Structure 1
Amino acid sequence: MTQDIQPAVGFVSPAPGRFGIIHRGVVRLVTWACWLFGGLALAVLVIALLAGVFDRFLFKIGLPWPEELGRLALIWLTFIGAIVAMAQGRHFAIAFQEDPSAQPLLMRAMIALATATIAVFLAYQGWLMLDLVGGQTMAAFDISVTWMYLPFIIFTCATAVLEALMLLSIAIRLVSPAARPAPNNA
């Protein structure tokens, strides 16, 4: 399923060798888990919204839980989709050159390091936010508001891990001339 998806231009593929096998395995595991939980979140979102529509227009009741459950499922679905895009190199990016594939590996390493650093900082800030709102509960459910903020922390931690793997792949390519990609002369 994921073999047909090509990474974005400028995406550094995993380095060859044992580390590359581990890198690809982690990306496949993350992608598989995200597809599973993303499908579950999408199913919950659709069921909650349909329940809200039937509840409001057929039974004229207007229960509060479908809207809150739909909002929660949409938040999870959004961040799960972002993790899949990040793992496959399809997340949005800013190109610093007209042809990002011609970007030097050192520049890509600096971008990966900056992204990982920002992700760690955001995960820490998200954790502080969880500490602030951890005692509150949702209005319709008797569950913690933590479930609404948790996807952000999971996404930023996944981003940091994926960027660290990218950084290690780049480091292997910089150290080992045999692992460097062929120059793009087209």
Structure 2
Amino acid sequence: MNPQHETAAPPNWARRITEATMAISLGIMVLAVFINVLLRYGFDTGIVFYEELSRLMFVWLVCIGAVLAAAEGKHLGFDMVISRLKGWPLKACTLLAQLATAYCLILVAKGSWEQVKAGMHTFSTVIGYPLALAAAGTLVMSVGMLIVLALQISGRLNNAASDAESRVE
């Protein structure tokens, strides 16, 4: 384990709330899809509401999961170059990569905000929810990942894969 990365992990309560939210969302999605499949193949009917609900919940599930994966350092990474570096070159390359990631996340947040604004007056076909609700998932994801990245840069949260071997489950 690299000593520079020995910092606090994400708070356990936040992780548990996030995982519970994801589990509940996944359970509702599975139940909705299962009921729809039974209705379609058993009774030649279906509930269209469930399709839109499942799609919306899937978007939010992926976005919340992406923030959790970022906080736990479980996103895929390419470290062939930095694994061979030590000292200030390692710190410089790591900071450069983090700043590039922050820039990309800011672009995602900006685009997501524009989609949220555009979706405020546009509604889904079946359920009738504002389409901004779906676009808000990527906005929450990008802002959440920016917060995680800021904590990583400040040293208050574990950096990505430097100690991945010790965290493999």
TM-score by length of 2: 0.79
| CA-CA distance at 1:86 after TM superposition | 0.6
Q: Percent identity?
A: 19
Equivalent residue, structure 1, for 2:19: 35
| CA-CA distance at 1:63 after TM superposition | 2.4
Q: 2:69 aligns with which of 85, 88, 92?
A: 85
Equivalent residue, structure 2, for 1:65: 49
1:105 maps to amino acid: K
Q: Distance in 2 between matches of 1:36 and 1:100?
A: 39
Q: Distance in 2 between matches of 1:42 and 1:101?
A: 41
Gapped regions of structure 2 (runs ≥ 5): 157-169
| CA-CA distance at 1:95 after TM superposition | 2.3
1:13 aligns with 2:5: yes
Equivalent residue, structure 2, for 1:119: 105
| 2:82 and 2:93 in contact (8 A); partners too | no
Q: Distance in 1 between matches of 2:11 and 2:106?
A: 19
Q: Distance in 2 between matches of 1:101 and 1:84?
A: 28
| 1:30-179 equivalent positions in 2, closer than 5 A | 30-97=14-81, 99=83, 102=86, 104-169=90-155
Say which structure, 1 or 2, has more relative contact order (CA 8 Å, 6+ apart): 2
| CA-CA distance at 1:98 after TM superposition | 7.0
| 1:30 and 1:84 in contact (8 A); partners too | no
| 2:102 and 2:149 in contact (8 A); partners too | yes
Equivalent residue, structure 2, for 1:184: none
Gapped regions of structure 1 (runs ≥ 5): 1-8, 171-186
Aligned Cα RMSD in Å?
2.4
Judge which range, 35-44 or 91-100, deviates more: 91-100
Corresponding residue pairs, total: 153
Q: Distance in 2 between matches of 1:134 and 1:167?
A: 34
- Say if 1:28 and 1:106 are closer, same or farther in 2 by CA, change over 3 A: farther
| CA-CA distance at 1:39 after TM superposition | 0.8
Q: Distance in 1 between matches of 2:120 and 2:21?
A: 23
| CA-CA distance at 1:55 after TM superposition | 1.7
| 1:123 and 1:152 in contact (8 A); partners too | yes
Residue deviations 1:88-118 (CA, integer Å, cap 9, x gap): 0011122241736857122111211221222
TM-score by length of 1: 0.72
| CA-CA distance at 1:14 after TM superposition | 5.2
Judge which range, 152-161 or 72-81, deviates more: 72-81
2:5 maps to amino acid: S
